[in-house]
Structure 1
Amino acid sequence: MKKESKLWNRNFFLLWQGQLVSAFGDALYTIALSFFVLELTGSTAVMGTIMALVTVPKVLLGPLLGIMVDRVDRKKLIVIGDLIRGVSILLVTVAFRFGILKIWMLMAVAVIDGICSAFFNPAVESSLPDIVTDENVMRANSVYQIATTGAEIFGQSLGGAIYSQLGAPVMFLINGISYLFSASTEIFIKIPNVVSEKSKGTFRENFKDGIHFVLRYEGMIRVIVMSFFINFLFGIIRVLIIPWFVDNPQLGMTRYGVLSAAQSIGILIGMTVLSVVRVKASQKYNWYKISLFSFILMIGVAVLSNQYWIILLLFFLAFGFQMIFNMIMNSTVMQRTPVNKRGKVSAMKMTLGMAISPFGNFVGGMLGEVWNPRGIMFVSVLLAVITVSVIVIHPTVKEFLNYDTTGQK
């Protein structure tokens, strides 16, 4: 299939608008689930466990499903992923309506969500370079993420108020319907088939092939290892922000929703910058390094502040920088990976980068039972600064990120 030169071609638009709808419902569901579990159990440990269960399948199944992405029809994986998630969340809504909803059901849906994401995300990520031209890959990633973030802004800013007025079941229902709508539009996307590797070896051999490819680049290894540690430390923080706001009478659920929206607006601004500004290949490492350190330090200052507007501003700026360094890394990895390896490399990157995140959620939930959330979050920030300094400030990372597609293969 010939790729269209314009960014907003039919296939990209269908993928983009489907994500826009499902992301809005997902934002409502995430807030509703967190508040509902905390209200029902009063335990940060249980809340952290459910958040961790979404990530565990991505870690355990990511490499296997990444190989599958390189062997089967990626459009089917994308449609089926949204369809299963929509049905499972609607079943939770029905159980809530009839008064039979149990915590184990929410845990089961969290696992299902994680499994679907484990093959949905690599399928989308590996498909983007095949439906837009090389010069539009970074812009496509940015614009695609804008859909997610823009929807999250509305969902998160309204989430606390909707939960207070209508409760969790309405928010669950919206999310289930949004996934089904997204699946119905993704049916019409045309994604070119990948040259199958079925005759070239077993799953084990293909997995080893993906590992060998990643090991060719020390810079790639370093940015993935950095993600591994950062996801653990910020997995702790992500869990503890909720009890920090809920337990503080000057903050509360509504202001948490506004904070979540501020994060999303920051991400939106970061993506907008990358969608309109062409970052020179020789400057990508500097952009990456500056935005990464800015993200960490602003979170640290926000945790120390007692002024809500300062916390809001710093989280807004921090997550704008987060999107910049993430997009630079993801786009570089995609551009340096051959088409028949993108699925497994994308899954491997996601798996290794997120492998410890569920443990971070769990540890954060457990520590929140015995120690002040803000103290735990600040220690996590200090450890993040040390980790990034050791891993990222290295010439191989600079060489990897400053890759120029016009002059190299």
Structure 2
Amino acid sequence: MHSKKPFLFAHRQFFRLWLGQVTSQAGTRIYQIAIVWWILSVSKEHSGFALGAFMVAGALPSLLLFKLIGRVVDRMPAKFMLVACDLTSAALMGYVAWSLSNDTLTLGAAYLFGFLIAVAEGFFNPTITKCLPSLVSAEDLEQAVAYQASSQYLASFGGSVLGAMLIAWLGIPLLVLLNAISYVFSAIIEMTLVFPEAPADGEENNNAESASGG
């Protein structure tokens, strides 16, 4: 008697999407922890204001661009959006790592890059949700949504803990650089995703057939 495969392993395309999601979202949290640590070290007298400004910069995209994000995510191919968001974040964090290593990063630049990375995340997260019906069958969609939602919290928590642990060991510049590399890894995973072609008029949707495809 064969045991039933775990959900993630039974749905290979969804597993790849999930792995890319966890890597990307955990990376964002690690970056935030690293930059918060850096802000505290360079703005001791005004650290409260500096941290508040950084948090505001990271929250603004979701408040200001939600209509644009919705339109773009709805119209653009999901794979393109996922890969583009991760590669954009990788490039931004790579530049931040270089600036940190050369001691040229300013608070203003940290706010700007925090905003831009939050923009990329703002496009990435709804694209993940958009992908789910294409990668699992209708009967498995509820469980896939549960995995996706819980993974977001897991990535946030794990990234925060891991970031705090690695700062003392690696230092902020190297940690940010490794984080940039993790985004490239996530993008490579997402490049392997295979989405079913949109059915022509009168044809049945073949989502169920591709739900566990390799």
Short-chain TM bin: 0.7 to 0.9
In structure 2, the partner of 1:117 is: 121
TM-score with structure 1 setting the length: 0.43
RMSD in angstroms over aligned alpha carbons? 2.4
Q: Which residue, 137, 140, 147 being the options, matches 1:136?
A: 140
C-alpha contact (below 8 Å) 2:17/2:190 kept by paired residues: yes
Deviation digits for residues 108-155 of structure 1 (CA, Å, limit 9, x no counterpart):
211211221222222111121221123322311222344444444443
In structure 2, the partner of 1:29 is: 31
Q: Which residue, 96, 102, 116 being the options, matches 1:98?
A: 102
In structure 2, the partner of 1:170 is: 174
C-alpha contact (below 8 Å) 1:95/1:101 kept by paired residues: yes
Percentage of pairs with the same residue: 29
Q: Distance in 1 between matches of 2:94 and 2:8?
A: 37
C-alpha contact (below 8 Å) 1:70/1:194 kept by paired residues: no
Alignment of 1:25-104 (within 5 A): 25-42=27-44, 43-104=47-108
Deviation digits for residues 325-381 of structure 1 (CA, Å, limit 9, x no counterpart):
xxxxxxxxxxxxxxxxxxxxxxxxxxxxxxxxxxxxxxxxxxxxxxxxxxxxxxxxx
Alignment of 1:185-334 (within 5 A): 185-192=189-196
- Quickly say closer, same or farther: Cα 1:194–1:63, change in 2 above 3 A: farther
C-alpha contact (below 8 Å) 2:25/2:156 kept by paired residues: yes
Unaligned 5+ segments in structure 1 are 196-409
C-alpha contact (below 8 Å) 2:8/2:15 kept by paired residues: no
Deviation digits for residues 226-269 of structure 1 (CA, Å, limit 9, x no counterpart):
xxxxxxxxxxxxxxxxxxxxxxxxxxxxxxxxxxxxxxxxxxxx
Q: Distance in 2 between matches of 1:154 and 1:47?
A: 21
Q: Distance in 2 between matches of 1:163 and 1:170?
A: 9
SS at match of 2:104: coil
Q: Which residue, 11, 14, 23 being the options, matches 1:12?
A: 14
The structure having more radius of gyration, on CA atoms, is 1
Q: Distance in 2 between matches of 1:194 and 1:64?
A: 24
Q: Which has the higher contact order (CA 8 A, sep 6+)?
A: 2
- Quickly say closer, same or farther: Cα 1:110–1:194, change in 2 above 3 A: farther
Unaligned 5+ segments in structure 2 are 1-6, 200-214
Larger mean Cα displacement after TM superposition, 140-149 or 97-106: 140-149
C-alpha contact (below 8 Å) 1:25/1:178 kept by paired residues: yes
C-alpha contact (below 8 Å) 1:55/1:114 kept by paired residues: yes
In structure 2, the partner of 1:181 is: 185
- Quickly say closer, same or farther: Cα 1:150–1:58, change in 2 above 3 A: closer
